[in-house]
């Protein structure tokens, strides 16, 4: 479909390049004259501002040029006599161009007011003559055509068909408008007749499609097909009877019919919201109200007439164009507004606001005869005010703002279970945040109490949700969440909401209970391993120590037994606070360093005494032991300084010796140093070795978010070490 639409646009552009054009620009003056501006030839600069009365081929064949001809379409000409004058003027111009050749051009005389007659060559527009406005309008039309086609490809339903008709009708309007901007005073007769018939038809088709959409979304209304059928029959009847209606009432009949259909759509959306409140219905209804009001204002301004012809020209040409662009942008943006992320929603709002600003600018100029600067300033202020008013409401009530999909809901429950398993005190806040994200209530309150299941109170104004309990929190009294008025008070809670909350709390309870059971199993397994190590490996090492052939081997085995005791105590412990782990590390290091005749300088500080997970305790224990072993065996140090510091959730571990090692950048990282790097990375930290003066090495391990290192990103990888 994209390819077909692109070919159609290219064919239209190619046809336009073969059409005639004036070698200069023209504009309407306040007095009703057509004045020359922006001449292309340097020797024609003297004609800037000259009044163009007409073009002639010879004295017997002349075509007048008037302000009425500058209007590209009769769609926004309400007076029947002016429509006829518009068509007659273009017919005379087409007769003047009879025999015109795009390759050779045509010499015509310019009939000027108070000027001598000048000769001009009427050449083809060419590709370079197609203005950026034409390409912008056709690009927007192409997007609308593709959007309508994509709706049908997703499935042939009444809603998709209605949206496709709406999108295609707007695309047709933009194609007509874009073509009219290029033809100027040389529009062919057949194109004018086609435009005069099909543009009202497209308006009626689009308006009837809006009624169909309003009756079916977000849920079908009772007798929805009747509303859609009535709107369609009205549109078909008016389309067929356009040529038989009295010309005096033809234009107003079409305008009022479109307004009536849009008003019917607004009424259907109001009824739909009362039956089933949905924020998307409110957003769509506001756009429709804005559309029908601007349509009515534009219609009244055109019908009332303006004394200044240049203002009437701006109103009929650019006013109608701005409204159609606004309508097309609304058609394209509304689906995204209901499902997109905040960034795209902001873009959509800004795009709609810019369209409103352009529309208001044209209307202010046309209806109130304001200057260009004044009208633009006023239009910008009005659109900015409208944007600020709607934005806050829209961003907090759109269902696509932060609506939880099932995948995201599962992820949230998983993260809550992981966090609560580590910090049980976070359960209340996490569940309250989840309820806010799910239902967006006016208030969420946690009170002591007990309810068996999630239930409604006050005819749906209040939802009671029991807070889940599990074995890890048996000492806490039972509590209940009280949610009042869903979606910031725009709707009541329903039985489906209560069932959803019940299922979510049940799944969270299962996740918490599963985590508790898994952790209990891990603790029991660690205790068994520690017991086996102590009873089996420890006893064997003790036997070897007594049978050691010399004192050196005996001392080595004694140190090994001490390390084994440290490891088994850590495995057997249910939990490790940082202060307790630091005391254990200090005792272990003091014993090992004293045996090696090495002095220990220990420093430890923490702004909060956190509980270490097994991953944290094991990783830090092995890093410290490996670093101290290197200082004893490789550096032959006489003094080791160890610093453990936790501040603002940042852990710093520093081990410095005064040994003989140097140039750490040239070290070969084997199992020892490589293991230190791996364990630091597992905890989400970094490690570096620095040379200190006058001699010695300092190793620094830095973990920026120590609480986040409690849950490693890759548990299987960590377990392998």
Calculate mean pLDDT across residues 677-694: 86
pLDDT the model gives residue 715: 38
Six token digits for residue 567: 């490891």
pLDDT the model gives residue 632: 83
Which one, of 480, 496, 501, 492, lies nearest residue 436 by Cα? 501
* Range from 416-420, 578-582, 644-648 carrying the lowest mean pLDDT: 416-420
CB 53 within 8 A of CB 59: no
**What DSSP state is assigned to residue 128?**
G
What confidence category does residue 714 fall into, taking pLDDT thresholds of 50, 70 and 90?
A: very low
CB 77 within 8 A of CB 66: no
Taking 70 as the threshold, does the pLDDT of residue 331 lie above it? yes
DSSP three-state, residue 109: strand
CB 8 within 8 A of CB 173: no
Distances (CA, A) of 390 to 376, 398, 402, 437: 21, 11, 18, 21
The distance of Cα 89 from the centroid of its chain, to the nearest Å, equals 50
pLDDT the model gives residue 601: 92
What confidence category does residue 659 fall into, taking pLDDT thresholds of 50, 70 and 90?
A: confident
* Range from 268-282, 560-574, 621-635 carrying the lowest mean pLDDT: 560-574
pTM score, whole prediction: 0.53
The distance of Cα 431 from the centroid of its chain, to the nearest Å, equals 26
CB 387 within 8 A of CB 333: no
Q: What value does the mean pLDDT of the chain take?
A: 79
Q: Domain 576-719, CATH 3.30.750.24 — does that match?
A: no
CA-CA distance, 368 to 553, in Å (whole number)? Answer: 105
pLDDT the model gives residue 391: 59
Provide the percentage of residues in the chain whose pLDDT is more than 70: 78
* Range from 63-67, 128-132, 340-344 carrying the lowest mean pLDDT: 340-344
pLDDT the model gives residue 658: 87
* Range from 92-106, 343-357, 479-493, 540-554 carrying the lowest mean pLDDT: 343-357
Provide the percentage of residues in the chain whose pLDDT is more than 90: 12
Q: Which residues contact 14 (CB under 8 A, 6 or more apart)?
A: none
CA-CA distance, 169 to 173, in Å (whole number)? Answer: 6
DSSP three-state, residue 277: coil
What confidence category does residue 46 fall into, taking pLDDT thresholds of 50, 70 and 90?
A: confident
pLDDT per residue as tens digits for the range 646-657: 998 899 999 998
pLDDT the model gives residue 14: 92
Query: First-to-last CA distance in the chain?
Result: 57
Residue 281 class from Cβ within 10 Å (0-12 exposed, 13-18 middle, 19+ buried)?
A: buried
Calculate mean pLDDT across residues 28-41: 77
pLDDT the model gives residue 355: 58
Calculate mean pLDDT across residues 428-448: 86
What confidence category does residue 306 fall into, taking pLDDT thresholds of 50, 70 and 90?
A: low
Q: Which residues contact 257 (CB under 8 A, 6 or more apart)?
A: 204, 207, 234, 235, 238
pLDDT per residue as tens digits for the range 207-240: 999 999 888 887 788 888 888 888 889 888 888 8
Calculate mean pLDDT across residues 162-186: 91
**What DSSP state is assigned to residue 315?**
I
Q: Which residues contact 318 (CB under 8 A, 6 or more apart)?
A: 362
Six token digits for residue 369: 């005869």
Evaluate the CA torsion angle 396, 400, 405, 410 in order and state its sign: negative
Taking 70 as the threshold, does the pLDDT of residue 592 lie above it? yes
pLDDT per residue as tens digits for the range 314-324: 777 777 888 88
Using the structure block, give the residue that is written with the tokens 């100029």. Answer: 365
Using the structure block, give the residue that is written with the tokens 């340097």. Answer: 42
Calculate mean pLDDT across residues 602-613: 88
pLDDT the model gives residue 668: 61
Six token digits for residue 687: 């490690």
CA-CA distance, 558 to 544, in Å (whole number)? Answer: 10
What confidence category does residue 400 fall into, taking pLDDT thresholds of 50, 70 and 90?
A: very low
The distance of Cα 110 from the centroid of its chain, to the nearest Å, equals 55
CA-CA distance, 40 to 37, in Å (whole number)? Answer: 9
Q: How many other CB atoms are found less than 10 A from the CB of residue 504?
A: 21
Taking 90 as the threshold, does the pLDDT of residue 642 lie above it? yes
pLDDT the model gives residue 574: 57
Evaluate the CA torsion angle 54, 57, 59, 62 in order and state its sign: negative
Q: Which residue has the higher pLDDT, 334 or 157?
A: 157
pLDDT the model gives residue 593: 85
pLDDT the model gives residue 245: 57
pLDDT the model gives residue 81: 85
pLDDT the model gives residue 346: 53
Taking 70 as the threshold, does the pLDDT of residue 294 lie above it? yes
What is the fold, at CATH topology level, of the domain defined by 20-124? Answer: Pdz3 Domain (2.30.42)
Q: How many other CB atoms are found less than 10 A from the CB of residue 392?
A: 9
What confidence category does residue 660 fall into, taking pLDDT thresholds of 50, 70 and 90?
A: confident
Taking 80 as the threshold, does the pLDDT of residue 444 lie above it? yes
Q: Enumerate the domain spans of the chain.
A: 20-124, 305-394, 576-719
DSSP three-state, residue 118: strand
pLDDT the model gives residue 258: 92
* Range from 433-442, 447-456, 562-571, 681-690 carrying the lowest mean pLDDT: 562-571
């Amino acid at each position: 479909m994209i390819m077909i639409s692109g070919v159609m646009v290219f064919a239209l552009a190619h046809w336009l390049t073969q059409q005639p054009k004036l070698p200069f620009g023209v504009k309407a003056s306040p007095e009703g004259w057509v004045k020359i501006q922006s001449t292309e030839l340097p020797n024609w600069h003297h004609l800037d501002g000259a009044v163009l009365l007409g073009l002639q081929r010879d004295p017997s064949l002349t075509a007048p040029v008037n302000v009425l001809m500058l209007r590209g379409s009769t769609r926004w000409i309400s007076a029947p006599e002016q429509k006829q004058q518009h068509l007659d003027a273009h017919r005379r111009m087409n007769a003047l161009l009879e025999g015109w050749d795009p390759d050779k051009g045509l010499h015509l005389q310019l009939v000027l007011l108070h000027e001598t007659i000048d000769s001009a060559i009427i050449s083809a527009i060419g590709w370079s003559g197609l203005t950026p406005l034409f390409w912008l309008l056709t690009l927007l039309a192409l997007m609308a055509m593709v959007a309508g086609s994509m709706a049908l490809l997703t499935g042939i339903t009444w809603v998709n068909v209605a949206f496709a008709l709406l999108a295609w009708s707007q695309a047709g309007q933009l194609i007509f408008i874009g073509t009219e901007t290029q033809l100027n005073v040389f529009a062919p007769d057949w194109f004018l007749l086609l435009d005069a018939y099909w543009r009202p038809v497209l308006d009626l088709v689009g308006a009837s499609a809006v009624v169909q959409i309003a009756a079916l979304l977000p849920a079908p209304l009772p007798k929805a097909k009747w509303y859609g059928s009535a709107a369609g029959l009205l549109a078909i009847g008016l389309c067929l009877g356009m040529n038989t209606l009295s010309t005096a009432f033809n234009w107003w009949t079409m305008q009022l019919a479109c307004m009536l259909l849009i008003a019917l759509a607004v009424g259907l959306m109001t009824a739909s919201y009362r039956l089933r409140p949905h924020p998307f219905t409110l957003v769509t209804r506001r756009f429709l109200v804005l559309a029908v009001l601007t349509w009515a204002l534009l219609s009244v301004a055109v019908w009332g007439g303006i004394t200044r012809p240049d203002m009437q020209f701006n109103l009929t040409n650019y006013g109608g164009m701005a409204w159609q662009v606004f309508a097309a942008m609304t058609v394209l943006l509304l689906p995204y507004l209901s499902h997109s992320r905040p960034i795209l929603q902001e873009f959509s709002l800004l795009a709609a606001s810019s369209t409103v600003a352009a529309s208001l600018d044209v209307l202010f100029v046309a209806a109130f005869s304001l200057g260009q600067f004044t009208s633009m300033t006023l239009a910008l202020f009005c659109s900015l005010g409208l944007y600020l008013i709607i934005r806050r409401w829209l961003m907090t009530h759109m269902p696509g703002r932060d609506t939880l999909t099932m995948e995201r809901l599962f992820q949230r429950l998983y993260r809550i279970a992981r966090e609560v398993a580590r910090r049980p005190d976070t359960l209340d806040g996490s569940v309250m945040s989840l309820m806010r994200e799910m239902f967006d209530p006016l208030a969420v309150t946690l009170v002591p109490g007990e309810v068996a299941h999630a239930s409604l109170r006050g005819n749906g104004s209040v939802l009671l949700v029991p807070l889940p309990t599990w074995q890890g929190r048996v000492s806490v009294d039972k509590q209940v969440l009280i949610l009042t008025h869903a979606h910031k008070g725009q709707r009541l809670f329903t039985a489906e909401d209560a069932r959803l909350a019940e299922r979510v709390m049940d799944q969270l309870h299962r996740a918490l209970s599963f985590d508790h059971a898994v952790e209990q199993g891990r603790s029991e397994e660690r205790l068994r391993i520690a017991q086996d190590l102590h009873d089996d490996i420890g006893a064997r090492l003790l036997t070897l120590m007594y049978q050691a052939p010399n004192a050196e081997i005996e001392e080595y085995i004694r140190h090994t037994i001490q390390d084994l005791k440290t490891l088994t105590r850590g495995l057997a412990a249910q939990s490790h606070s940082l202060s307790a782990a630091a005391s254990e590390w200090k005792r272990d290091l003091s014993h090992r360093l004293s045996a090696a005749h090495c002095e220990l300088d220990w420093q430890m500080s923490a702004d909060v005494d956190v509980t270490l997970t097994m991953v944290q305790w094991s990783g830090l224990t092995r890093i410290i032991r490996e670093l101290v072993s290197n200082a004893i065996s490789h550096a032959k140090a006489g003094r080791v300084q160890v610093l453990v510091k936790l501040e603002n959730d940042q852990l710093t571990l520093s081990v410095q010796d005064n040994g003989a090692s140097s140039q750490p950048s040239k070290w070969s990282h084997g199992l020892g140093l490589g293991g230190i790097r791996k364990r630091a990375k597992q905890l989400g930290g970094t490690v570096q070795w620095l040379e200190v003066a006058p001699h010695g090495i300092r190793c620094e391990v830095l973990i920026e978010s120590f609480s986040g290192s409690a849950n490693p990103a890759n548990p299987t990888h960590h377990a392998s070490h």
